[in-house]
Amino acid sequence: MNLKKVILLIAVAALLGTSIFAAGAKEDVSKPKEVTLTIYARAYTFAQDAPWVYAKAELQRRHPDINFTFIEEGFGWADMRTKFLTSAAGGSPPDVMMTDIIWLGEFVDSGLLVDVTDRVAKWDEWDDVVDAYKDATYWNGRVYGTWLNTDVRVLVWNKDLFRAAGLDPEKPPKDWNELHRMAMQATNAPHYYGFGFPGTLEDESVMKFYANLYSNGGQILTDDNKKAAFNSPEGVEAMSALIDLIKAGATPTSIVSGKASDIDNGVFQGKFAMASMTKAYGLARDLIPGITPEEYKNRFGLAPIPHAPGGVPATMSGGYLLTVPTGSKHQDLAWELITIAAGAENQFKYTAARGYVPTFKSLMARGADYVEVDPFFSVILDALPSAFFRPSIPEWTEISAEVQNVMQALILGRMDVKEALDLAAKNVDKILSE
């Protein structure tokens, strides 16, 4: 073969190779990009279309060039924190994390959450967030998420059990004295009890104590968050109001077992005449399939939590932010999914379905729309001015555990109230000093 033929063959081969490569490249470009987004959230958020079904569909619509796979993992409260810390430590955190507001300081100080300050500034719904809730998303002057919902605890009672006890089903107790008397009257042990509150080792258990504490003029920590303050005389009275229900037999010691949610469920299952809780309507719908708003109103009631005699109305508020973990490989898409899931449109559908409280100004003004879904929603909104938050400090989980431990010991009759609170305060002061 002469030199000219060799050169010609090489040229043709090169031309063919270039064409094949170009065709292959064109084929790759036309392929949808594959993206997997993992969501860690409380299990009940997946129980209705809002927020996640709607949010996923809208994100896919906005990005037709991406083929999304969504991995949804639902948890209980404590399990979700543990799983997140474990997955983050192992280098495989989710892309979206539902973060309890009390975990914010801990997660940020550990470097686990993305600073979204610049992102929220570009989000057209950020200015619609109620200022108090907007402020709560900051840690050390930076924003780390936006609210999916907040909540307040209210008293829920079973009207059938009130009627059976000869109580007026439309008149709930207003203060601790009335609560004690009516809980005693509504008790028919061991079949059902007048009042339920959790005694499990969970943060929700001590929320009942904190509501009493604030109503009685006390507080959890000193103003500078440097020392315990819950072992004050006001604190002793607040805890005693709960423990006295145990001693009187209106609340069973079995509340130390199971889960905190068992107590809430028990009101709708006829096991407790009264309890304080969040998301009452959502629980009723979960436990009583097909219940209508009218039936719900006839069978159950909602009112403010009974306050201290001579004290002020008080309830505890909490809620969740949607946040982006620092280890997410798709932070921009994760944030976009969050703005859809936690935007006003989805937040209305979600909070109305579950009995939660919205955090947008525009939704706060839609009380009539909420009442069409939940007949007691006005009670929830009216409780907001009386709401208190737990300190969102990094040490909170350890602090809460100390109070949970002594509260359970009190329920089981192993300690005196003042002795128990002083012990917890001593341990909390040590935690805060380290």
Structure tokens at 163: 């009627």
Q: Please provide the CATH number assigned to the domain covering 154-316+392-433.
A: 3.40.190.10
- Domains 34-150+318-389 and 154-316+392-433 are alike in CATH topology: yes
CA distances from residue 94 to 127, 298, 379 in whole angstroms, order as listed: 27, 43, 36
What single letter denotes the amino acid at residue 157? W
Tokens 């997140």 label which residue? Answer: 84
Structure tokens at 354: 């579950």
Q: What is the pTM of this model?
A: 0.82
Q: What is the pLDDT of residue 8?
A: 39
Compute the half-sphere exposure of residue 330: CA atoms within 13 Å on the CB side of its CA.
19
Phi/psi class of residue 158: alpha, beta or left (left: φ > 0; alpha: ψ in -120 to 50)?
Answer: beta
Domain coordinates of the chain in residue numbers?
Answer: 34-150+318-389, 154-316+392-433
Other residues' Cβ atoms within 10 Å of the Cβ of residue 191: 9
Q: What is the pLDDT along the chain (434 residues), one digit of tens a residue?
A: 443 443 334 343 444 444 433 444 343 445 679 999 999 999 999 999 999 999 999 999 999 999 999 999 999 888 999 999 999 999 999 999 999 999 999 999 999 999 999 999 999 999 999 988 899 899 999 999 999 999 999 999 999 999 999 999 999 999 999 999 999 999 999 999 999 999 999 999 999 999 999 999 999 999 999 999 999 999 999 999 999 999 999 999 999 999 999 999 999 999 999 999 998 998 999 899 999 999 999 999 999 999 999 999 999 999 999 999 999 999 999 999 999 999 999 999 999 888 788 999 999 899 889 988 899 999 998 898 899 989 989 999 999 999 999 999 999 999 999 999 999 999 999 999 98
Are 272 and 266 in contact by the 8 Å Cβ rule? The answer is yes
Q: Please provide the CATH number assigned to the domain covering 34-150+318-389.
A: 3.40.190.10
Which residues sit opposite 75 in a β-bridge? Answer: 42
What's the CA gap between 256 and 40, in Å, rounded? 28
CA distances from residue 106 to 115, 143, 291 in whole angstroms, order as listed: 14, 14, 40
Q: What is the pLDDT of residue 385?
A: 85
Which residues sit opposite 36 in a β-bridge? Answer: 69
CA distances from residue 33 to 36, 67, 340 in whole angstroms, order as listed: 10, 6, 21
Q: What is the pLDDT of residue 373?
A: 86
